[in-house]
Amino acid sequence: MSEQRTALVTGANRGIGLEVCRQLAAAGYRVVLAARDRAKGEAAADTLRRAGDVTAAVLDVTDAAGIRALAADLERRRIHIDVLVNNAAVLVGESRAVLATTADELRTTFETNLFGVVAVSAAFVPGMVARRYGRVVNVSSKAGQLASMGTYAPAYSMSKSALNAFTVQLAAETRGRGVLVNSACPGWVRTGMGGRGAPRSVEEGADTIVWLATLPASGPTGGFFSDRRVIDW
């Protein structure tokens, strides 16, 4: 990298988000590790000090005032976000049938997995467009693939389909303006969400996300990727 880029990763105090921070810091990025709990975010950032330039920030993606406060604080410190990894998500009502899914479960899921992503993007993507450089990675899931969708985790799966639609919309809006926007599926990964029986490590899960976060100008936009390959919506 000729110029040091700054990456903001949401929901980064544990799991895949934390590993994405580690890999980006190791690649020379300045990393803003965002977590909704200040103490957990700082403790997580402490574990990465040796990996590179990592600072913790408080961000609950469902809190509009908190998003504005973080954007204003970074602006004051002249920290421009070049890379946004929308990683924070919740998995609610996993084993429920679609018609038994409650409105509250849908609301909770969509608040974080879609509305939060749109709100955080709205705070940081305009700056990327103005500077004509940006990479946005929406951490999605094959659970959201319409091409193969079954009955698994209805609220979560529908939220990830909607997230993918947001990827397509934002990519179309920013096309040709230096900003590349893509969705990534990390695979089934051993985290709080994925459980201990998952076949993939966080390192493997973070790989495609970091690849998309660090794309060259000639890279793709508006795609859905797993293992660095395009997959069906």
| Dist. CA 131–CA 11, nearest whole Å | 25
Q: Judged by CB, which is closer to ligand NAP: 133, or 136?
A: 136
186 binds ligand NAP (CB under 6 A): yes
Give min distance, CB of 16 to ligand NAP, in A.
4
Q: Does 145 help bind ligand NAP (rule: CB under 6 A)?
A: no
The distance of closest approach from Cβ of residue 230 to ligand NAP in the complex, given in angstroms and rounded to an integer, is: 17
| Least Cβ distance, residue 49 to ligand NAP (angstroms) | 19
Residues 54-113, interacting with ligand NAP (CB under 6 A): 59-62, 87-90, 112
Nearest residue to ligand NAP, by Cβ distance, number only = 15
Active site residue 152: no
Q: Which is nearer to ligand NAP, 19 or 133 (CB)?
A: 19
Q: Which residues bind ligand NAP (CB under 6 A)?
A: 10-11, 13-17, 35-37, 40, 59-62, 87-90, 112, 116, 139, 141, 185-186, 188-189, 191-194, 198
Catalytic positions, written as ranges:
156
